[in-house]
Structure 1
Amino acid sequence: MTYKYLLEIGVEEIPARFMEQTISQIKEKFENLFKDERIDFHDIKVYGTPRRLVAIIYGLSEKQEDLHELVKGPAKKIAYDKDGNPTKALIGFSKGQGVNPEDVIIKEYNGEDYVYVNKVVEGKNIREVLKDKVPALIKSINFPKSMRWGGKSFRFARPIRWIVSILENEIIGFELDGILVSNRTKGHRFLGKKDIEINNVDEYIDKLRENYVIVDQQERKNLIKHGCDRLVKSKGGNILEDLELLEELTYIVEYPTPLLGRIKEEYLKLPMEVITTPMKEHQRYYPVVDDKGRLMPYFVAVRNGNEEYLDVVTKGNEKVLEARLEDAKFFYNEDIKKPLEDYVEGLKNIVFQDKLGTMYEKTIRLVELAEKISEYLEVGEETKKDVKRAAYLSKADLVTKMVYEFTELQGIMGREYGKMSGENEIVSLAIYEHYLPRFASDELPTTTAGAILSIADKIDTIAGCFAIGIQPTGSQDPYGLRRQALGIINIILDKNLHISLGEFIDYALSIYKNSKGLEFNKEKVREEILDFFKIRIKNLFIEKGIRYDVVDAVISTGLDNITELYVRAEEFNKWIDKEELGEIIAAFNRVAKLAKKASSDIVNEDLLIEDKERDLYRIYINTKDKVDEYLRKREYDKALDTLIDLKEPIDNFFDNVMVMVEYEDIKNNRLGLIKRISDMMFSICDLSKIVMK
């Protein structure tokens, strides 16, 4: 016989952003629990609403599987006397295991015979397991932020108000800091009953539906999406898609009912983001657009309730949005009374970071750093001019009333106000693009000016934070340095930019030393930042399908040109299937190991007295020129092929020439040759990092 089990944790409203990872976590914890406790099950469904976390387990076995355990006892020579009779040692062991002495078996262990007992531990009933283990499971659920309440001994996202625990139709009670565990739940906060009795697991979802709670989040999501689409199609429009907003709406309502509201035409004269940002970020409304992506005078909101008095609710939402848009209109009209450039001076009153100065000081650093990158990339004079202008204006919108009220609009308003102030299209767009990418799946800068400015801004922040000891630790990254490093890497790869990362980190640190007089070990901080980038580079390359050991082999060359590293890694990833790989790695490792003993790479041809060492030196000279040329042309596959050509002469050298001879000059000369070959091979990749399959 199999069972169904229901666990509902009733809570005060949990933030929507917690829900997805919490649902995944609960499912994983139940799976691990049943695996550890030797209990079979068919399926686990986990649901979440603002006021409840729910797990329903199907096909639970009646009890744990019996545990067959082989228990080791004393050695045979101790367990029996010379006549083969059980000794006190065996009798005591047997009694302790609940068997007779004649029930033991003899098995060898480490060359000696021991007595063993095949012990069967009968599995516990599922009721016992649930009663014993579920409280600990609840306590183990982690949240980005949690709290204690009412003197409880554990933390949770929000206070737990009730718990439903039912196996089929039987309450499985347990102790959890005095919280009531029963078969009674609550419906919708305003529309449902305050006390609902659940007689069995099968009726749970339907009873809550009767009380205006849609337990299944996917069903709520579908209701929202289809309901919104139906409303806007009636007006010939489309929802302005926003997956994050849909996710949030799904987890802030228990009984979703979309409604269509109207926007006054006068507000549509504002820039699109000025309208949509208050709608989405503050009110959780969907903007409506036509087939060309232009805003229409409608919005869609999602009510947590039914359709009763929906017209009244709609009018209320219209009034709330109108007040928001009226504020936005006022801020916008105030801001455009002067050009964007006039706001730059106000950045002196905004602190970037206590030790790193104001946003104005950051702006001046950006101008200098962006100019340096422009020169390095040898962009055209017009682009240099645009980059410098965009850098100077990049943070100006932070002083405006619109961005002060709606911080999500930073960069967006800079772009709009730049256009209105007469700045050209590239400058205006670069002001917006220098914040990109803002999150993992965000767009990247489309213009060269925007890419350069974005890199400069992010390098300045990373360099400054590392210089004063603010580095990401664990889950703590208050300045988003990991995200900014990934942003730099993705921009460089997207634009195929060949930049020495170390050179610009060094330059950014120098600016801080010169302008702020910061005291720090520049070389140490530079290496820390490069190591920080290496971790991000490695993870990103692996995500792109490159073997982890190939990434290690390429990164170990010490290159800091991300684009070249990626191309080299891609080529190596294809090349690594060569049949000769094992032999090549063996030769490489022989060279690399011995090269560590060399004090220099100087080679005196007059001291090359053996045929095989002269052959190796000659082949090295020819190969070195080829490798340098292949690397210069970025023909990495051909550079890698030279490693195959080197294998035989290297093997011949080691098989016929003694390196560590007593004559110092000859020994050092041979070590110098080995070091030269090693350095050349390392300039391509570090084959010692490759793991043979």
Structure 2
Amino acid sequence: MAKDLLFEIGLEEIPARFIRAAMEQLKERTEKWLESSRIRHGEVQAFATPRRLAVLVKDASERQTDVSEEVKGPSRKIALGEDGAWSKAALGFARSQGVSPDDFTFKELGGVEYIYATKNSKGVESASLLAEGLTGIVHAMTFPKNMRWGAYDFKFVRPIRWLVALFGSDVIDFEIAGVKTGNVSRGHRFLGKETVIQQPSQYVEALREQYVIADVKERESLILKQINHLAAEKDWTIAIKEDLLEEVLFLVETPTVLFGTFDPSFLNIPQEVLITSMREHQRYFPVLDKDGKLLPYFVTVRNGNAEHLDTIAKGNEKVLRARLSDAKFFYEEDQKLKIEDALAKLENIVYHEELGSVADKVRRIRQISDALAAKLGAAESAKVSRAADICKFDLVTQMVYEFPELQGTMGEDYARLAGEDEQVAKAVFEHYQPRFAGDVIPSTEAGSIVSIADKIDTIVGCFSIGIIPTGSQDPYALRRQTAGIVQIVLERKLPIGLNDIFDIAIQVHENSRNLKLSEGELRITLYEFFGLRVKRLLEGSIRYDVIDAVMAAGYDNIVSVVSRSRALADTIASQENFKTTVDSFTRVGNLASKAGAAVLDPALFSEAAEGALYEAWQSIHLPYAKALDSGDMTLALSLLSGMSDAITAFFDSVMVMADDEAVRGNRLALLAGVDGDMKSFADFGKLVW
């Protein structure tokens, strides 16, 4: 027999950003507890609104399953005395397992006989376990922030106000923080009232009658359906940002979409400012025309029904008008601030107590940018310098103070209004790119160079004072900034190595302050840290052993390591006999490691196969180097593979480890030369077949 199980935790309003994780946690903990308690069950559904977390378990067994397990005890030698009687060890084992020694059996394991006991455990009524189990689940739950209330030591995300716990129609009787379980839930705070849940299966419909849509997917579907209907009706494009939709989803129990308008004169403010103000302060969805231009309307979601929507819209319009008036004031006031005056204010903003002010950081960015521009032969070095000088000036503006996420966006707009070159203004925005995984890279040369300079300054600065990410801790987002540099270098195919970037940044930091780490130690740490990001970049599309093999040849040139990885992976996939080639490469590498300081002298060749391998190697050596330099890694690998037959013939007819020391050294030197070219592509010995 089976019954449905319902458990609802009624709370004061939970922060929207906590709810989905809390709902999933409740479901996972319930499933794990049921499994560990040997209670069979069907589907487990989770529900959540701002005021509740709930889980519904279908067809939970009324009894635990019986278990019968075989437990190994002492060996026969220890279990039986010389007189054939059970020893103290055997009797103690029987007591610990709750069995009689008469029930022991003997089984051989690894050539030794052991006693075994079959331990039977009969399942108990599930109802007798539920109160303790559900209480334990609640106490085990964790949240980013907890609360205490009243005189209770118990902590939870928000105070518990009611509990519903039903197994079938029976209430599971227990109490948490002074709140006793029952079968009474609460509806919408204003539209609904208390409702009795007679059976767990009635939960969703009983709440629906009290203006609560408990199912998260249904609530989201309702919101999107109403938004899409409104967009079609008005011929609008309503910009739905996923994180805003997620937040709104957990702010309402009965969603009703409505729209309002604002004064078109506000459209003179940059569109990004208006959209940010609507989204961040008011949780509104902006309305755009078909060309992506902002219209003087907004869409919001009410936590209630469709009554008096005009009144609700007017109230929202009044609040938004105040918000946009503030934004307009900030925007107009910021334009009175000259860029040079803003830069002077950066002297008073501490970037880090050991790394100086933001102005100090800007000066380092300028120096790194200039050096990078020179190394890359930048066509517009003056624009790079100017963009680096002013890249952070908008941090002191009122608009960025109010909306930090607009840094760079406002800098570009204000720089353009101040008469800065268009590419310089654009670079002020772009130097923050890529801001997150999947974001685009800067489109301008200046933006790319200043972006790398800004990011490497942060990374080297933090590493030099001992701030190095460990585990999940990365407060300065150094992993993300490292990935950003890798992405820019790769996508723009910049002809610069990681060590060149490190050298420039380390030198700038050394000139401005003392480093806690030695230059050599810092460079090694940086190289390894960037290596992890390059590896992570490749892991999505390249098998692990290919990545290990290619990166063993070095990853200073990011473009090269990615190209080599793809060429090797493609060759392995397309050429069935490539394993034979790799085996020959690996054999060369194993012997080449013994060459030491031996010098190659072709005059010492005594076997035809030696000369043939030497000629094969010499014929591909320069073309191979040119292929590497040009980035044609498929050709480079093909040239290496072309030596396979000569290598096989060499090993078939030549004794490498000859008795004559000079001959042996010369043959090893030949293999070392061949292996040197191979190792510049990959360490083929790391490939796994």
Is the partner of 2:381 in helix, strand or coil? helix
Q: Is the 8 A contact 1:340 1:414 kept in 2?
A: no
Identify which of 529, 549, 552 aligns with 2:548: 552
Q: Is the 8 A contact 2:212 2:254 kept in 1?
A: yes
Q: What's the offset of the Cα at 1:199?
A: 2.8
RMSD between superposed Cα atoms in Å = 3.1
Identify which of 532, 536, 539 aligns with 1:535: 532
CA distance in structure 2 between the aligned counterparts of 1:620 and 1:628, rounded to whole angstroms: 12
Is the partner of 2:680 in helix, strand or coil? helix
One-letter amino acid of the counterpart of residue 255, structure 1: T
Structural mapping, 1:84-483, within 5 Å: 87=86, 104-146=104-146, 156-173=156-173, 180-193=180-193, 196-380=195-379, 383-483=380-480
One-letter amino acid of the counterpart of residue 61, structure 1: S
Q: What's the offset of the Cα at 1:281?
A: 0.9
CA distance in structure 1 between the aligned counterparts of 2:461 and 2:518, rounded to whole angstroms: 13
Question: Residues 651 and 161 from structure 1, CA distance in 2 versus in 1: closer, same or farther, beyond 3 angstroms?
Answer: farther
Deviations 1:396-446 (A, max 9, x none): 111222212222211111111122122233222221111122223434323
Which region of structure 1 is more displaced relative to structure 2, 87-96 or 66-75? 87-96
CA distance in structure 2 between the aligned counterparts of 1:284 and 1:645, rounded to whole angstroms: 64
Question: Residues 82 and 336 from structure 1, CA distance in 2 versus in 1: closer, same or farther, beyond 3 angstroms?
Answer: closer
Question: Residues 608 and 141 from structure 1, CA distance in 2 versus in 1: closer, same or farther, beyond 3 angstroms?
Answer: farther
One-letter amino acid of the counterpart of residue 563, structure 1: V
Q: What's the offset of the Cα at 1:486?
A: 1.9
CA distance in structure 1 between the aligned counterparts of 2:180 and 2:33, rounded to whole angstroms: 23
Question: Residues 24 and 624 from structure 1, CA distance in 2 versus in 1: closer, same or farther, beyond 3 angstroms?
Answer: farther
Identify which of 568, 572, 581 aligns with 1:576: 572
Deviations 1:247-304 (A, max 9, x none): 1111122222223222112212211122111111111111222222222222122222
Deviations 1:475-533 (A, max 9, x none): 32221112212222223333333331221122111111113344431221122122222
CA distance in structure 2 between the aligned counterparts of 1:340 and 1:33, rounded to whole angstroms: 61
Q: Is the 8 A contact 2:372 2:504 kept in 1?
A: no
Which region of structure 1 is more displaced relative to structure 2, 633-642 or 611-620? 611-620
Identify which of 604, 616, 621 aligns with 1:619: 616
Q: Is the 8 A contact 2:78 2:87 kept in 1?
A: no
In structure 2, list runs of 5 or more residues that go unmatched: none
CA distance in structure 1 between the aligned counterparts of 2:657 and 2:567, rounded to whole angstroms: 37
Q: What's the offset of the Cα at 1:246?
A: 0.8
CA distance in structure 2 between the aligned counterparts of 1:107 and 1:457, rounded to whole angstroms: 69
CA distance in structure 2 between the aligned counterparts of 1:581 and 1:536, rounded to whole angstroms: 29
Question: Residues 522 and 265 from structure 1, CA distance in 2 versus in 1: closer, same or farther, beyond 3 angstroms?
Answer: same
CA distance in structure 2 between the aligned counterparts of 1:69 and 1:305, rounded to whole angstroms: 56
Is the partner of 1:258 in helix, strand or coil? strand
Q: What's the offset of the Cα at 1:580?
A: 3.0
CA distance in structure 1 between the aligned counterparts of 2:595 and 2:177, rounded to whole angstroms: 68
CA distance in structure 1 between the aligned counterparts of 2:542 and 2:285, rounded to whole angstroms: 40
Which region of structure 1 is more displaced relative to structure 2, 209-218 or 135-144? 135-144
Match of 1:511 in 2: 508
Match of 2:521 in 1: 524
Q: What's the offset of the Cα at 1:670?
A: 4.0
Which region of structure 1 is more displaced relative to structure 2, 217-226 or 658-667? 658-667
In structure 1, list runs of 5 or more residues that go unmatched: none
Which region of structure 1 is more displaced relative to structure 2, 148-157 or 682-691? 148-157
Q: Is the 8 A contact 2:160 2:177 kept in 1?
A: no
Deviations 1:5-46 (A, max 9, x none): 222233343332233334344444444444444444332222
Q: Is the 8 A contact 1:607 1:666 kept in 2?
A: yes
Deviations 1:624-669 (A, max 9, x none): 3343233223222233234544445445555655555666555544
Question: Residues 601 and 681 from structure 1, CA distance in 2 versus in 1: closer, same or farther, beyond 3 angstroms?
Answer: farther
Deviations 1:49-92 (A, max 9, x none): 22222222223334444333222345456767999x77567787
Question: Residues 333 and 93 from structure 1, CA distance in 2 versus in 1: closer, same or farther, beyond 3 angstroms?
Answer: closer
1:677 matched to 2:674? The reply is yes
Match of 1:11 in 2: 11
Q: Is the 8 A contact 1:186 1:196 kept in 2?
A: yes
CA distance in structure 1 between the aligned counterparts of 2:258 and 2:212, rounded to whole angstroms: 18
1:497 matched to 2:494? The reply is yes
TM-score by length of 2: 0.90
Q: Is the 8 A contact 1:344 1:393 kept in 2?
A: yes
Q: What's the offset of the Cα at 1:373?
A: 2.8
Structural mapping, 1:45-56, within 5 Å: 45-56=45-56
Deviations 1:506-563 (A, max 9, x none): 21111111133444312211221222222222222222x2212222222221122222
CA distance in structure 2 between the aligned counterparts of 1:451 and 1:514, rounded to whole angstroms: 24
CA distance in structure 2 between the aligned counterparts of 1:627 and 1:620, rounded to whole angstroms: 10
One-letter amino acid of the counterpart of residue 51, structure 2: R
Is the partner of 1:10 in helix, strand or coil? strand
Q: Is the 8 A contact 1:7 1:164 kept in 2?
A: yes
Q: What's the offset of the Cα at 1:180?
A: 3.8
Question: Residues 390 and 568 from structure 1, CA distance in 2 versus in 1: closer, same or farther, beyond 3 angstroms?
Answer: same
CA distance in structure 2 between the aligned counterparts of 1:222 and 1:53, rounded to whole angstroms: 19
CA distance in structure 2 between the aligned counterparts of 1:327 and 1:607, rounded to whole angstroms: 86
Q: Is the 8 A contact 1:288 1:299 kept in 2?
A: yes
Q: What's the offset of the Cα at 1:677?
A: 3.0
Is the partner of 1:8 in helix, strand or coil? strand
Is the partner of 1:252 in helix, strand or coil? coil
CA distance in structure 2 between the aligned counterparts of 1:511 and 1:269, rounded to whole angstroms: 42
Q: Is the 8 A contact 1:513 1:519 kept in 2?
A: no
Identify which of 587, 590, 597 aligns with 1:590: 587
Between the two proteins, the alignment pairs up a number of residues equal to: 687
Question: Residues 614 and 519 from structure 1, CA distance in 2 versus in 1: closer, same or farther, beyond 3 angstroms?
Answer: same
CA distance in structure 1 between the aligned counterparts of 2:92 and 2:123, rounded to whole angstroms: 25
Q: Is the 8 A contact 2:6 2:165 kept in 1?
A: yes
Q: Is the 8 A contact 1:601 1:673 kept in 2?
A: no
Is the partner of 1:387 in helix, strand or coil? helix
1:565 matched to 2:564? The reply is no
Q: Is the 8 A contact 1:617 1:673 kept in 2?
A: yes
One-letter amino acid of the counterpart of residue 53, structure 1: L
